[in-house]
Chains A and B, each alone.
Chain A
C-alpha cells in the first residue's frame, strides 16, 4: 500500500541553524501539507501546497519557514534559523484532492538545543 515517507526520523540541531525536513508524498497525490506536534500538545496545521504554490498557511508558518517541491517526488520544509520552541514532531501529509483524506507520514522528531 502506498505511503508517505519522511526523512530523517530524528534530527538534533543547534539553535540558529537551518534544517530541512524531507517528505515523499504518495505518488498520485497533488496536495501536500506540513503539520507539527509539540510534545504533549495538539497536532497543528502549518501549510498546504498545491501546484507549486502555498494554498493556505497558519499563523505559525512565519518567515522562518518555507516549503518547496524541488523535484517530482520530494516535498521539503525548511526552517531558516531554528529556535528552541521549534522542537516538535513534524508530520507531512498528502491527498489526491483538496477535500480528500490526508495521509500522514511517520513524522520527523526535531530537537533544537
Chain B
C-alpha cells in the first residue's frame, strides 16, 4: 500500500544546513510536499514539487526528487532556531494526501 517513511529526529547547529530525507512508495503521485508543524499549530505548506521535476529551490529551501529511487529531500540552508519544528513529507495525486510520521528538527544555538 501507500507509505511514506522519514527519519524521526534531526539535530543541527544554528547556521548549518539541515537535510531531511523521505522515501515514498506510490510512483503515481503527482505532487510531493513538505509541510511544517510548530508545537500546537496546524500544517503549513512549505513547498512542493511536481513529480516530473528533479529540483526546486525557494529561498533557503531546496527540494530534490529522485523519482527512480522514490526519494525526496528537503535542504534548509542557514538553519535558524525558528526552523525548529516537525517537518512532514507527503505524497499526493489522488483524492488523498499520504503523510510521513514527521521529522523533528532541533536547532541548537
Contacts and interface: CB of A to CB of B under 8 A. Distances in A.
A105 interface: yes
Given A43-B88, A105-B42, A106-B42, A33 B94 contact: no
A42 B45 CA distance: 16
Contacts, number: 53
A65 interface: no
A45 B95 CA distance: 10
Interface residues of A, number: 23
A104 B45 contact: yes
B106 interface: no
Interface in B23-43: 30-31, 33, 35, 41-43
Interface stretch (A12-20, A66-74, A75-83, A94-102): A94-102
A102 B97 contact: yes
Interface in A40-89: 41-45, 48, 55-56, 58
Given A42-B99, A42-B102, A101-B31, A91 B92 contact: no
Nearest to A56: B95
B101 A45 contact: no
The 3 closest A-B pairs by CB, nearest first: A106-B42, A48-B95, A45-B96
